Structure 1
């Protein structure tokens, strides 16, 4: 056995028991234990980690721990570029796309509303989330810590809030999404890009009151839905203004 000292920073402490939060603590590690093995053994999913310093030097997930090592573990730094120091994965994701697990349908719709490509199906299984995260470089969103520990999930976020609007605010803050949001460019139901359409082309699909009051329309070529700036659009604008 070897002994190493750990210190976790910021929201990574949420995964730790209270006595280990925001303090240094020492623990026994199996011989040949890696940084990834110990970080996850202590309760923190590897997808929540963006930077590991061992004795002050950047290390990757495969670093074998030695007796006396001091390990500092940091969460994602999305507000500035840490690429020169990055060792735990090849590069941070800068074009953010998401896959949400089966329990986050409300969050998925809100992310689409904000213009972020988000795959969601209420029957999606953990293995599918893992595959989409790995092969399409999507950030996995979940409230299941074990899902984030799957090896194929290279980028992921553990969602702490319970209600969709609060979840959206949390993700916006943690991943600094305000600058890259493109509201009302994706279909909430299909995740397909919307396009402008002439009123005459959708007139028969509009409620009578909308035919009179509205002149600008968007449509989805997949589900053929038609969208306009009504009361729902105003509520969504107010939500985005609140969290941005």
Structure 2
């Protein structure tokens, strides 16, 4: 009989906040619900069973106290699970992460090439290659302290990921709006400071130095030019720039 009692399921009360509800079935979203698991069980094991990526969780409270993923739960515990707080510094409260992230740098998977260009347009250091393997993305993100953005939920399952986010939107413009709002990036905009093609920082260049690289009619009309040393491209504030500038104003 004693052996059977050990395997009995215990009841817990859980509430997930904000976008973490996207990973739950509809009947469990935006409310406190009861759940049962065999004990001993950790917070991490519960999250994994619900397919909530650990990289999207920034704070876990059990009965009002901050705990780590490895915290063992007791019957009738009340668990509150919060998503990433990139716009707030909770480093002195959370026990989930080793360190916070105050500078927003990104690495994107193969599904998000257009979003990568838009983030670079806003001045964010954004790595992207359509041939990145998942292990490459995780290793680079760890080494360079980057946020992984992906449309692949399986990628975010890795326990090695500190900062990752599943992009919900499909449209490239809505994806950019989603990321800007999610990480509260408005104050970090440095628009048109990076090459949208390769991510290398742009520098101002004297008109006389780029004359061989642009058409004569461009040189006659424009006086301000920017240069990408990495891919040897010259940029100027033409009609395409005006359209992008309007888009950024609308975004703000």
The verdict on a shared fold, with TM-score over 0.5 as the criterion, is: yes
1:156 is displaced (CA, Å) by 0.8
Q: Higher mean Cα deviation, 33-42 or 147-156?
A: 33-42
Determine the structure 2 residue equivalent to 1:8.
16
Task: Tell me the TM-score normalised to structure 2 length.
Answer: 0.93
1:199 to 194, 207, 220: 207
Greater C-alpha Rg: 2
d(CA) in 2 for partners of 1:223 and 1:202?
14
1:220 and 2:224 correspond? no
Q: Is the 8 A contact 1:133 1:152 kept in 2?
A: no
Question: Which portions of structure 1, spanning 4 or more consecutive aligned residues, are displaced by more than 4 angstroms?
Answer: none
Determine the structure 1 residue equivalent to 2:43.
35
1:166 and 2:174 correspond? yes
TM alignment of 1:138-157, pairs within 5 A? 138-157=146-165
Determine the structure 1 residue equivalent to 2:113.
105
Deviations 1:72-122 (A, max 9, x none): 001122333222211110232101110000010000011011111111001
Determine the structure 2 residue equivalent to 1:66.
74
Aligned-residue Cα RMSD (Å) equals: 1.3
TM alignment of 1:50-89, pairs within 5 A? 50-89=58-97
1:129 and 2:137 correspond? yes
Gaps of 5+ in 2: 1-8
1:179 and 2:175 correspond? no
Q: Is the 8 A contact 2:86 2:101 kept in 1?
A: no
Query: SS of the counterpart of 1:84?
Result: coil
Q: Is the 8 A contact 1:48 1:157 kept in 2?
A: yes
d(CA) in 2 for partners of 1:179 and 1:164?
21
Deviations 1:128-175 (A, max 9, x none): 111112221110000111111111211011101111111111000010
Q: Is the 8 A contact 2:148 2:164 kept in 1?
A: yes
1:236 to 219, 226, 244: 244
Task: Tell me the TM-score normalised to structure 1 length.
Answer: 0.96
